[in-house]
Amino acid sequence: MKLSILFIAASILGLGVFAYAYWPQPPQQQSDLRIVYHTTSRMEDGTTRVTSRQTRIQKENGDWKQVQEYIDPEGRVTGSMTSVGVAGRGVFVVGRAKLLFVGDRSEGYKPKFDEEAFRKIPDFIGESTIAGYRVLGQGGAFKFWVALDIGGANLKTERDGSVTEAVSVERGDFGPVTVPDLPIEYSDYREKIERVEPLNPQMADRMRQALPKPY
């Protein structure tokens, strides 16, 4: 099954960097993190079940690796998707024979969480606890909750009846995150730029900068 680059980007970026867009400053994470998430989805018959499990290594320097496993109604793993984000290289989905380029992960991208600023946003929905960590939430069509004490890590997202929530958070040294030595496929990313171009030429131009020259 071929997943669109928009779906892939939403899946792998939604957990790790959505909340950071507000505060691109030096990090407060202080150690590597390994976060395990479960995604619970609402089925057509109105019931809910766990449909995927994600394990994310979030490095102190902002690099990351995520493995997403898809789970059937019997609880069996039916497939998986691995993605990585490394400064100076980009964000990639790792295939068997090639890398799918998803976007940029630029140098100097080191998130910091600003609690005072977060509490002032219009869609602020309060404070709670997830996986043992205090979190603040933002509402709207896409809800998310970020942890104050681990650099603003995103511990829960909620959208369209689907909830992804951390079930465990572990600190430690989990080794370097590297990009596998495989050919890189840019065609889907170029198609995404073409779709963005008529709507936002400036954004399309910024996206184009992430491509190897000549574009």
Q: Which amino acid is at 57?
A: I
Task: For residue 165, give the H/E element and its range.
Answer: strand 162-172
Domain segments of the chain: what residues?
5-21+31-109+162-208
Strand order of the sheet with strand 184-185? 124-130, 133-138, 143-147, 154-159, 162-172, 32-42, 48-58, 64-71, 77-86, 90-94, 99-103, 184-185
What does the pLDDT read at residue 30?
65
* List of the chain residues with pLDDT < 50: 1-3, 5-10, 13-27, 107-110
What does the pLDDT read at residue 106?
56
What does the pLDDT read at residue 153?
86
Is residue 137 within 8 Å of residue 143, measured between CB atoms?
Answer: yes
* CA 103 – CA 97 distance, rounded (Å): 19
